[in-house]
Structure formats: C-alpha cells, structure tokens
C-alpha cells in the first residue's frame, strides 16, 4: 500500500521517532477518520483567537506557526514539516494563541477533535506519544528563545539551518546535510528576528566562510562539524531517541 493511500502513516512515523507504538497502536492512528485537503501556499489552517473543532496533520509541503505583535511585526515561532501535527493543542485549548499558515502548497489530513480525544483516552501509548510530541515542541521553542535572545545574526541563521538538517533527516525527508529550504529570506528573517537584508548578508557570510553552499534554495554543508560549532548546535533539544520514561505505565 502506498503512502498516498495511508496518509496518516507519516504521523505514525513521526511519533515513532520519539515514542514506542505497537503495531495495533499504529493501526489505531491510521484508522482515524480523516480527509485530505490540498492547500495553496499562504492558506491559513488556524487563525489566532479562533476556535476550531478540527486538527490537521501535514502530509506534504511545509507550514509555519506565527504570531503578530501589536505593531504588525510577524514572528515565525515554528516551522512544520510533513508528519507534524498542525494544531494538536486545539484538542485541549479553546482559543488558539497563534496562526498556522502553509509555507508551500501541500496536503493536510484533517481529523476531528472528538476522534483524537477518544483515541487518546482509550490508548495510553498513543496518549504518551502525543505528550512526547507536545513536550518536544516546547523544547524546540525554548531553543528558539535562546537562539533569538542570545546568538548573533550569523549564529542564528546557522542554527536554523542545522535544525532543519537534522529534523528533515530524522523524518527521512532529506539526504544527509543537503536539502531544499522553501523559505524566502524574509521568512527566515521573521523566524530569526532579523531583517531580510541582514539575513542575506549572514547567509553570504556563511557561504564566504565555506560553511554552506547555496544553489537556489538548496543548502549544503561541506563541513558539518564547523557549521555545528558556529551555530552552537546541539541536537539534544530535539529529543530524537525513543523516550522510555513513560514506559512504566
């Protein structure tokens, strides 16, 4: 059976990166009622201050979470890759505190909140996997606060590129240390708290240092260790091992 026939397989794989799921647990997830929507770049799936009874899972393409300050400045607070849940939090919170927007055209599997709630209630392993998923997202947010708060422009840009490299590789979506990043420099700036002009200069600087090569939006790392050092990157915060702590249940 092809992935196209089993869209939620991607969610299963994503959860299994960090939490153990038996075959029957996985089947329970795959069996969740859903329908697939193809969304254009720029489409919102959740809007800040809204309430929604559905929960999307990204199947193809990229998306991001964003918040807007009262001055109208945008901050991108997460970038989502295929297999990520777009709005797990809406299962438990009434009103969304941020928006989710498609970065590229892509497919989203739409689940009903009630179905997900029922599955979490009835299946402890799935509940644990979702918990690990949510906690990992919080961990990434802490790293982003550190990134934006303490690192220089060059370090920030380098760190973002490293994070994608590892996340995409872990998800099986990219070759080792070479991938296409489908973001404009303006969007990268909104993720890093920098202006697009400065992002451009920092990317050029990384290039001049021989740390990355770019052709169109494909990034490569000729010297991963050096890149890692410049970025101050340590993947611990991604929690990329199967977490055993919940296993005593």
Helices 153-170, 196-208: crossing angle, 10 deg rounding: 80
Cβ–Cβ < 8 Å for 160, 219: no
Backbone torsion region of residue 159, taken as left when φ is above 0, otherwise alpha when ψ lies between -120 and 50, otherwise beta: alpha
CA 190 to CA 195: how far, in whole Å? 7
* Chain centroid, CA 123 distance in Å: 24
Q: Which does 137 bind (CB under 5 to 8 A by kind): DNA, a second copy, none?
A: a second copy
- What six digits make up the tokens of 170? 């872990």
Cβ–Cβ < 8 Å for 157, 206: yes
Judged by CB under 7 A, the residue of 104, 112, 139, 195 near DNA is: 195
Closest CA relative to residue 211, chosen from 227, 198, 232, 228: 227
- What six digits make up the tokens of 134? 């949510």
Torsion, CA 149, CA 232, CA 139, CA 129, rounded to 10: 160
Q: Which does 1 bind (CB under 5 to 8 A by kind): a second copy, DNA, none?
A: none
Query: Contact region for a second copy (CB under 8 A) — 2-10, 86-94, 167-175, 197-205?
Result: 86-94
Cβ–Cβ < 8 Å for 214, 200: no
203 touching DNA, by CB under 7 A: yes
Cβ–Cβ < 8 Å for 223, 211: yes
Binding mask 170-209 for a second copy (x = CB under 8 A): ----------------------xx----------------
Report the DSSP pairing between strands 34-39 and 213-215.
unpaired
Judged by CB under 8 A, the residue of 3, 31, 38, 124 near a second copy is: 124
Instruction: Kindly tell me which of 16 and 74 has the beta carbon lying closer to DNA.
Output: 74
Binding mask 124-163 for DNA (x = CB under 7 A): ----------------------------xxx---------
Judged by CB under 7 A, the residue of 137, 186, 209, 235 near DNA is: 186
Judged by CB under 7 A, the residue of 198, 224, 232, 239 near DNA is: 198
Contact positions vs DNA (CB under 7 A): 152-154, 184-186, 193-198, 200-201, 203-204, 214, 217
Contact positions vs a second copy (CB under 8 A): 48-49, 65, 67, 69-71, 73-75, 77-78, 89-95, 97-98, 113-114, 117-118, 121, 124, 127-128, 131-132, 134-139, 141-146, 148-151, 192-193, 229, 232, 234, 236-237, 239, 241, 243-246, 248-249
């Amino acid at each position: 059976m092809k992935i196209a026939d089993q869209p939620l397989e991607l969610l299963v794989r994503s959860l299994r990166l960090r939490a153990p799921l038996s075959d029957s647990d996985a089947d329970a997830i795959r069996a969740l009622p859903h329908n697939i929507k193809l969304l254009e770049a720029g489409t919102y799936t959740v809007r800040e201050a809204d309430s929604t009874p559905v929960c999307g899972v990204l199947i193809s393409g990229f998306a991001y979470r964003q918040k807007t300050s009262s001055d109208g400045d945008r901050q991108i607070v997460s970038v989502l890759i295929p297999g990520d849940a777009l709005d797990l939090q809406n299962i438990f919170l009434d009103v969304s505190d941020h928006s989710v927007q498609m970065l590229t055209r892509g497919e989203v599997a739409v689940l009903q909140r009630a179905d997900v709630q029922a599955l979490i209630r009835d299946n402890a392993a799935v509940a644990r996997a979702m918990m690990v998923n949510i906690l990992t997202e919080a961990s990434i947010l802490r790293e982003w606060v550190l990134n934006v708060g303490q690192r220089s422009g060059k370090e920030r840009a380098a760190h973002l590129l490293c994070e994608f490299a590892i996340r995409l590789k872990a998800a099986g979506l990219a070759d080792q240390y070479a991938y296409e990043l489908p973001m404009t420099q303006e969007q990268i700036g909104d993720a890093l708290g920098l202006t697009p002009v400065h992002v451009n200069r920092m990317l050029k600087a990384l290039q001049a240092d021989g740390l990355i090569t770019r052709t169109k939006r494909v990034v490569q790392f000729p010297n991963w260790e050096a890149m890692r050092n410049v970025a101050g990157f340590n993947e611990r915060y991604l929690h990329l091992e199967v977490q055993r702590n919940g296993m005593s249940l």
